[in-house]
Structure 1
């Protein structure tokens, strides 16, 4: 038998066994069944890994007798993109998703001490999903389907996918997609057992999934910026939106769990957020793989759409039935005593994220609704998303500046004056200073004020934390800060993520509001000015690289008479096999500006090129990649204890010492 499908068949059998062992073990209370199920789970991960390695091998050896390999690769495809072709189609992507889920649950199963009652009840949810995925991989989404003949060559990869972004964007998104199933399963188990500790156990997995989704969206943004010809970093493309939706709801969940942790509130809300996150994750997969919505990212028509829809319906129905059954045990204590309090700020935070998610979901789904009711698709343009989400983003920016310093329960007038007078004054002063410097656009002024407010309140709170550490043990400025940082890693990690988001907002405001763009035609030796920069066309070059012919226009760039860039390129790629000509935009950072070159046409002695000058774009990539990763990793290193006394429907539950470190063990 064929190796790939054989390993998947065995993995399917083991997943069914592990599922049955968990159900019978819970029913009969037989621990030996859980031990054998854990071994089976590890075996599933091993088998799925073998299947994945085998698919990699088929691509590397160009075995075109396999239909999936023949569709997405060819002899002339560079090896790096041959490897990335693994997840270029729906079948390989589903295998990648199942592979990552199997690894995650194998990690949990291998750590036997953490395999407590909550995990035993959560694991069947994951195993049902994994079993369903294996069934799809063996029936309707088969990456190991063989042809009756051996093609002379394969079709090759879509030219738009032949980019380094193909290595990172899909893989990090599926890292996040696979991670979301764990908090969802813990939520279902927590409801069934009336165990509120599920939020503590789910938080770290949620953060891990959030990191994957964040990086996936950032890689996607950078990919669009450097590959697509329109010269932007986010186009509200339907499939971009599909990965953005679970990011929004998961972000809301991570913030709202703090209210449940401290006050025993928002329990039902947290359940809904995790349900929505998992449903939106599957919905995003449906959009990407079904071809039901037009997008530059979609993988084409697929027969798997009904399977994803059926799964979503079953998940929604099962969750609602379980919630209705256990409703009395998940009612929250009333914790909102004032509209002006830390608790209320978290609620407002959630409202903003949900409002944004609702608008994006509506805009993304509307083409389907219009086709169903009108007979044709009506696409929603970026203007709709911007009109809704820009004001929401501004509100979120200011709320991010308020949260660190506002009091719990109720903030008095004296408290507000004491904590916010200086940050607000700094924000106003920054707006005044920015005005004569050329920052006069309304949204740019708001971005300046909000950014200074956020930076000020975060700095004040960090100073307070460091001063507390100093009172405990004064060891000098650097050591005091280091100790405060280490002892408050969760807070500092969160603030680093806030700083990353702040940098992204500033970059977006600068690039959108103060962008200068011109499209012009010039002959070799000609010069054209955009903003403060002079662009001189110095030559035209042509060469062949890998599987494409490259034509490039070369520019020297000067600013105020000083040369700042030489041999800047505006490229066009021609792929002979696909008979496709694609523009390859090039971006160069000069000082605080990005110079963006997009060739429209190139002849032997002239070029038509669109050039953009986009201020502050470098902050987006610094904030998005470096600060975000560092902040999340710092947060993940923190053991968040389950409180020994927490409020749950007027009952104080004394936690066992072992449960205090349950999250760490998981």
Structure 2
């Protein structure tokens, strides 16, 4: 029997065994059964890893007798893209998803201390899902299906996917998708057991999954910016939105858990947010891999759509039934005494994220609904998303500025004046200076200037207060006070770094959209053309073979104030003979605070038609999304915060635990 399918069959059998061992072990309270189930989980990870390595091997050796290999690779495909063809289609993507889940649960299984009653029950949910995925891999989504003949060559990979982004964008997204399953399973187990601690246990996994989703979206944005010929970083493409939706709800969940931890509230919010995050994760995979939505991101038609839809329906119905059954045990304390409070800001934060999720989900799903009820698809354009989400983004920006300094329970007028006078004054001064130097656009003035300065000011002011508290505890010198304050509050300050990263992305998007300068020229070799403050001289045209494509290149020298600042900038076009396809390869170069963007529309022997763009502040998007954001998340993950309290009906225990938690040197966002 074929090696790949054999390992998947054994993995399915082991998964079913581990599931039964956990169910009976929990029911009969037999530790030895649970332990055997944990050993089986490790075996599942080994088998899934073996199957994945085997699929890599098939691609590397270009074994076209396997249908999946023949569909997504070819003899002339460069090795880097031959490897990434693993997840180019629905079958390989599902295997990647199952592989990552198996690795996650193997890590959980070998960690004895955390494998308590809650985790045992959560593992049942994970194993049910993993069994279903293995069943799909062996029936309708078979990466190891063999042909009756050996093709001479394969179809090759879609030219749009022959980019380094193919290595990072799908893999980071599925890292996030796999990670979302763990908080979801903990949530189901927590409801069943009436164990409120599931929220605390889920937070670190949620943060890990959030990092994967954030990176996946950033890599997707970079990919669009440097591959797709529309000169943007986000186009509100339906499948592009699919990976954005669970990121929104997971962000809301992480903020919501802070109220649960500190005040014992918003527990029902947490349940709904994690439920919808997992549902939207599966929905995103359905859109991306089933081909039911037309998009540059869909990688081929698939018969798996009904299986994902059925799974989503069953999970939604079962979870809602469980919530209804256990509703009396899901008791949140009333935490909102005033809308002008820290609790109020978290509530508004959640409403903003939910509003954004609903709008994006509606715009993404509407084409399917229109086709179902009207017989044809009506696509929703970027203008709809911008009209809804830009105001929501502005509201979220100013909420980020308010949250660090607003009081818990209720903020008095004197408190607001004392805390926000300086940040508002600084933001006002920044606006006056910006207006004086010529920044008159509303979004640039109020978002990029006032909003960003206000956010930075409040975050810096709050950090200074944390340092002052540390100084009162132990004055060990300025640098030691700062380092100790940072270390003792790194979860908060890591969160602040994430806020700054999001701010950098917002400012970058505002600068690029508002102040973008763009023109398309029919250029001749030796001619000079001006866009904004830059002069572009077309110096040469060249054509040469590269790997599995022919390249046409137009070369430019760029001048500013008569001085050359960039030599041999290129605009490229690729011709793929196998697919008889011509692709434009946009190129972006950062010069100072501007990105110079070259996109060839046509290249001839003595000239070229090229779209030239000057896009200010784009570097902030990649600096914030790929550096500051990652560092902030890693700092948050480094902080192991103990469960401060378990909410019960015993108010005495609640009060005692709250009193204990206030003595800890942790300053919540």
Q: TM (normalized to structure 1)? A: 0.97
CA distance in structure 2 between the aligned counterparts of 1:522 and 1:302, rounded to whole angstroms: 44
Distance 1:217 1:649, change over 3 A: farther
Deviation at 1:478, TM superposition (A): 1.9
Distance 1:646 1:319, change over 3 A: closer
Distance 1:120 1:161, change over 3 A: same
Q: Deviations over 1:49-78 (max 9, x none)?
A: 000000000000000000000000011000
**2:581 is equivalent to residue 580 of structure 1:** yes
Residue correspondence of structure 1 range 65-464 to structure 2 within 5 A:
65-447=65-447, 448-464=449-465
CA distance in structure 2 between the aligned counterparts of 1:644 and 1:290, rounded to whole angstroms: 44
SS at match of 1:232: coil
Paired position in structure 2 for 1:612: 613
CA distance in structure 1 between the aligned counterparts of 2:475 and 2:68, rounded to whole angstroms: 64
**2:480 is equivalent to residue 479 of structure 1:** yes
The answer to whether the Cα contact below 8 Å between 1:548 and 1:576 also exists between their aligned partners in 2 is yes
Deviation at 1:651, TM superposition (A): 6.7
CA distance in structure 2 between the aligned counterparts of 1:33 and 1:437, rounded to whole angstroms: 72
CA distance in structure 2 between the aligned counterparts of 1:545 and 1:555, rounded to whole angstroms: 20
Aligned-residue Cα RMSD (Å) equals 1.1
Paired position in structure 1 for 2:571: 570
The answer to whether the Cα contact below 8 Å between 2:261 and 2:645 also exists between their aligned partners in 1 is no
The answer to whether the Cα contact below 8 Å between 2:177 and 2:213 also exists between their aligned partners in 1 is yes
SS at match of 2:404: coil
Deviation at 1:290, TM superposition (A): 1.0
Paired position in structure 2 for 1:522: 523
The answer to whether the Cα contact below 8 Å between 1:333 and 1:648 also exists between their aligned partners in 2 is no
Distance 1:585 1:23, change over 3 A: same
Q: Deviations over 1:205-224 (max 9, x none)?
A: 00000000000000000000
The answer to whether the Cα contact below 8 Å between 1:75 and 1:153 also exists between their aligned partners in 2 is yes
Q: Deviations over 1:276-303 (max 9, x none)?
A: 0000000000000111111000022111
CA distance in structure 2 between the aligned counterparts of 1:515 and 1:370, rounded to whole angstroms: 35
Paired position in structure 2 for 1:601: 602
Deviation at 1:652, TM superposition (A): 3.0
CA distance in structure 2 between the aligned counterparts of 1:160 and 1:224, rounded to whole angstroms: 10
CA distance in structure 2 between the aligned counterparts of 1:136 and 1:614, rounded to whole angstroms: 45
CA distance in structure 1 between the aligned counterparts of 2:652 and 2:260, rounded to whole angstroms: 14
SS at match of 2:186: helix
Q: Deviations over 1:532-583 (max 9, x none)?
A: 0000000101111100100010000001111110100000000011100000
SS at match of 2:536: strand
Paired position in structure 1 for 2:468: 467
Residue correspondence of structure 1 range 622-641 to structure 2 within 5 A:
622-641=623-642
CA distance in structure 1 between the aligned counterparts of 2:608 and 2:515, rounded to whole angstroms: 26
Distance 1:345 1:583, change over 3 A: same
CA distance in structure 2 between the aligned counterparts of 1:303 and 1:387, rounded to whole angstroms: 35
Deviation at 1:475, TM superposition (A): 2.5
SS at match of 1:293: coil
CA distance in structure 1 between the aligned counterparts of 2:586 and 2:62, rounded to whole angstroms: 30
Uncovered stretches (5+) of structure 1, i.e. residues with no partner: 658-666
Deviation at 1:331, TM superposition (A): 2.1
Paired position in structure 1 for 2:2: 2
Deviation at 1:469, TM superposition (A): 1.3
Q: TM (normalized to structure 2)? A: 0.97
Paired position in structure 2 for 1:660: none
CA distance in structure 2 between the aligned counterparts of 1:510 and 1:337, rounded to whole angstroms: 39
CA distance in structure 2 between the aligned counterparts of 1:548 and 1:644, rounded to whole angstroms: 61
Deviation at 1:438, TM superposition (A): 2.2
Paired position in structure 2 for 1:661: none
CA distance in structure 2 between the aligned counterparts of 1:120 and 1:105, rounded to whole angstroms: 11
SS at match of 1:652: helix
CA distance in structure 2 between the aligned counterparts of 1:427 and 1:650, rounded to whole angstroms: 44
The answer to whether the Cα contact below 8 Å between 1:333 and 1:650 also exists between their aligned partners in 2 is no
Deviation at 1:647, TM superposition (A): 6.2
Deviation at 1:29, TM superposition (A): 0.7
CA distance in structure 1 between the aligned counterparts of 2:477 and 2:60, rounded to whole angstroms: 57
SS at match of 1:583: strand
Q: Deviations over 1:514-544 (max 9, x none)?
A: 0000001111000000000000000101111
The answer to whether the Cα contact below 8 Å between 1:290 and 1:301 also exists between their aligned partners in 2 is yes
Deviation at 1:640, TM superposition (A): 1.3
Deviation at 1:446, TM superposition (A): 1.3
The answer to whether the Cα contact below 8 Å between 1:262 and 1:646 also exists between their aligned partners in 2 is no
The answer to whether the Cα contact below 8 Å between 1:70 and 1:154 also exists between their aligned partners in 2 is yes
Q: Deviations over 1:468-522 (max 9, x none)?
A: 1122222222221111111111011000000100100110000000000000111
CA distance in structure 2 between the aligned counterparts of 1:39 and 1:81, rounded to whole angstroms: 36
CA distance in structure 2 between the aligned counterparts of 1:557 and 1:437, rounded to whole angstroms: 26
**2:508 is equivalent to residue 502 of structure 1:** no
CA distance in structure 2 between the aligned counterparts of 1:258 and 1:648, rounded to whole angstroms: 20
CA distance in structure 1 between the aligned counterparts of 2:384 and 2:243, rounded to whole angstroms: 18
CA distance in structure 2 between the aligned counterparts of 1:492 and 1:130, rounded to whole angstroms: 36
**2:39 is equivalent to residue 17 of structure 1:** no
SS at match of 1:99: helix
The answer to whether the Cα contact below 8 Å between 1:261 and 1:646 also exists between their aligned partners in 2 is no
CA distance in structure 2 between the aligned counterparts of 1:200 and 1:636, rounded to whole angstroms: 13
Paired position in structure 1 for 2:643: 642
Deviation at 1:88, TM superposition (A): 0.3
Q: Deviations over 1:177-203 (max 9, x none)?
A: 000000000000000000000000000
CA distance in structure 1 between the aligned counterparts of 2:649 and 2:614, rounded to whole angstroms: 55
CA distance in structure 2 between the aligned counterparts of 1:644 and 1:78, rounded to whole angstroms: 55
SS at match of 2:74: coil
CA distance in structure 2 between the aligned counterparts of 1:362 and 1:644, rounded to whole angstroms: 39
SS at match of 1:21: helix
The answer to whether the Cα contact below 8 Å between 1:67 and 1:144 also exists between their aligned partners in 2 is yes
How many residue pairs get aligned? The number is 656
Paired position in structure 2 for 1:662: none
CA distance in structure 2 between the aligned counterparts of 1:605 and 1:521, rounded to whole angstroms: 11
The answer to whether the Cα contact below 8 Å between 1:333 and 1:649 also exists between their aligned partners in 2 is no
Deviation at 1:204, TM superposition (A): 0.1
